[in-house]
Amino acid sequence: MPADSHPALAPSSSPEINKLAAAQGEHRLLINGELTESSTGESFDNVSPATGEVLGTTSAATASDMQRAIAGARRAFDESSWSTDRDLRTRCLQQLQQALDAEVEDLRNELIAEAGAPHMMTRTAQLDWPLDDGLRFPMQMIKDFEWERTLPTSELRGVRSSRAVRKEPVGVVAAITPWNFPFEIVINKLGPALAAGNSVILKPASLTPWNATRLGRIVAEKTDIPPGVLQVLPTPDASVTEILSVDDRVDMVSFTGSTGVGRRIVEKSAGNLKRTFLELGGKSAMIVLDDAEFATALPHAAQACTHAGQGCALSTRLLVPRARYSEAVDFVTHVFQSLSIGDPADPRVYVGPVISARQRDSILGYIAQGVSEGGQVTTGGTSAPELPDHLSGGFFVSPTVIAGLDNSSTPAREEIFGPVMTVIAYDSEEDAIAIANDSPYGLAGSIFSASTERALAVAHRIRTGSISINGGLYYGADSPYGGYKTSGVGRQNGIEGFEQYLETKSIAWIAHQEGQLHD
C-alpha cells in the first residue's frame, strides 16, 4: 500500500456524464397520473456535487400540489381496485421492472451526476443490487404471502364462532427519502408498499430528485398503475413535506433520514397517531477481536469511506485491542491513503464527493472538533488535494483517520456522515462489547475474528439491527433492515418490511355459516 500522505487521484470524465444527465433529467411532478409543473411554476436547482455546477432544474411542489396529491392518493386507494386486485399489482410492478431495466444506464448516469455516487457503487448498492430485487421480492410476496389464516373455532358464552385473521393494506403511505442512496431507498420503499396494495406519495430528497421523477415518468408512460396510486412530489420546502405528517388522509409515513428529522415526524404525526416507519442514523462499530488477522480484517475499514462515508450503516468506529493500537492505526492509515478519490464517473474511483458544500463543511468541523478534544489526524482531515480543474468547484473530503480519542469524544458519538474513522482502543472482549453498545444509535456493525463461533457470540450481544461477521453481507430485499434505539422504528425489506405496510383484521362468524372469506 502506498505510504504517501494523500489519497490516489483518478482521471475524470464527469463533464460528459453531467451533460447527459442534464439532457435527460425529468423535471416534472407526477400528480394523479399526470406529469405536471408546479402549480406556481416554482423550481429549484439540481447541483452536481462533483463540480458544483447546476445540472438543471426540477419543479418544486407547493402546498396546493401536495393537497391535490393527497386527495388523489386517497381516492385511488378508496375507489380503485388497486388495494384488492393482486393480479393487477403484479402485472403493473412487472411493467415497472421492465421499464427500469431498459433505462438502467440512464439511471446510472443520473446517480453519478446528481448524487456523486461513484460508478463502482452503482454496480452494487446504489443501483444494480436494488434494481435486481427491490421489486421482484415484493412481487413474489404478493403470490406467497399468507394474506388470510384461520384460527381454531371458538366457543365462548355458548357461541360457536369460526375465526380468521386477514391482512389488508394500510392505505395512503407517505414515503420520504434521503439523498445518499436515493434510488435504493426509493425502490425498497415503493416495492413493498405498492405490492401490499397501498397508494404512495413519494417525496424524494431535493438534493437528488431526478432518479425519483424519472420513476414517476416511467409509471405514467409505461405502466398500468392507476392514476393516484403513485404520486411523486419533490420540493425543498420542509413545510410542504410536513403536510404529509399532519394530514388525516395519510395513514402512514415511511421515512429514511436523520434521527433529528425522524423525531420531528413523530411529533407532527402524534396528533392523529399516524403509523410511522423510521430508518434513522447510525454510528456503527467495527470490532476487531484479538484473534483476528489484521491483514485480513483491517482492509475492510475502507468501507467507512463508501460513497464518501455518506451511509448510515457504515462502521465509522474502529475498535482494536489496546496492545496493538499503534499497529492498527498505522495499518488503517495506509488503507485510507490507498483509496482513490476524484471523479465519480471514473470506474476506478472509490471516494467521490460529498453531497454539498454544507455537508463538506460539517464534516471538516467534526474533524476539527476531534483535534480540539485531543485526537490526532493521521491522514486526511482536509478537502481533497490537487483535483482536476473541472472538479475544483466540487465538494470533497479526504479519507480521514482520527486516533487518540475514546468513545466519549464527539467524533465517536455523533454521526459525521463523511469519510472519517475514529480508532478506539479496548482492553478486553467485554470492554469491546460495552464500547460498541455505548452509543445512542443501534443500526449496524461488524465483527472480525478467527473464530466464527466466537464472533457470533459477540454479535448476539451487540444492540444493533444488523451485524456483519468477517465481511458477510446482510444486504437484500429479503433481509429486514433497521435499527435499535435512536436508529429507528420498524424494518425495511424482508417479510417484516412487507408486513409493515399492512393492517391486521380479525373476523368471526357463527360457525354453521361456513365459507371462506374472499377479497
Q: Tell me how far CA of residue 89 lies from CA of 288, 378, 460, in angstroms.
A: 46, 54, 38
Q: How far is Cα 56 from Cα 421, in angstroms, rounded to an integer?
A: 34
Q: How far is Cα 323 from Cα 309, in angstroms, rounded to an integer?
A: 28
Write the CB contacts of 472 (distance below 8 Å, at least 6 apart in sequence).
Answer: none
207: Cα separation from own chain's centroid: 14
C-alpha cell recorded at residue 83: 388495494
Which of 344, 219, 291 shows the shortest CA–CA distance to 454?
291
Q: What angle do CA 351, 354, 357 make, to 5 degrees?
A: 145
Maximal C-alpha separation, the chain: 84
Q: How far is Cα 392 from Cα 53, in angstroms, rounded to an integer?
A: 10
C-alpha cell recorded at residue 334: 495506509
Catalytic site residue from 26, 110, 114, 279? 279
Parallel, antiparallel, or unpaired: how do β-strands 502-510 and 172-176 relate? unpaired
DSSP notation for 90-125: HHHHHHHHHHHHHTHHHHHHHHHHHH---HHHHTTT
* DSSP 8-state symbol, 487: T
Our answer to whether residue 312 is catalytic in this structure is yes
Our answer to whether residue 305 is catalytic in this structure is no
Q: How far is Cα 354 from Cα 417, in angstroms, rounded to an integer?
A: 9
SS3 content of the chain, % helix, strand, coil (to 5): 40, 20, 40
Residue with cell 464518501: 308
Which of 352, 348, 341 shows the shortest CA–CA distance to 116?
352
Residue with cell 461488524: 446
Which of 502, 476, 477, 480 shows the shortest CA–CA distance to 489?
480
Catalytic site residue from 92, 312, 415, 429? 312
The residue count for the chain: 519
Q: Give the active site residues.
A: 279, 312
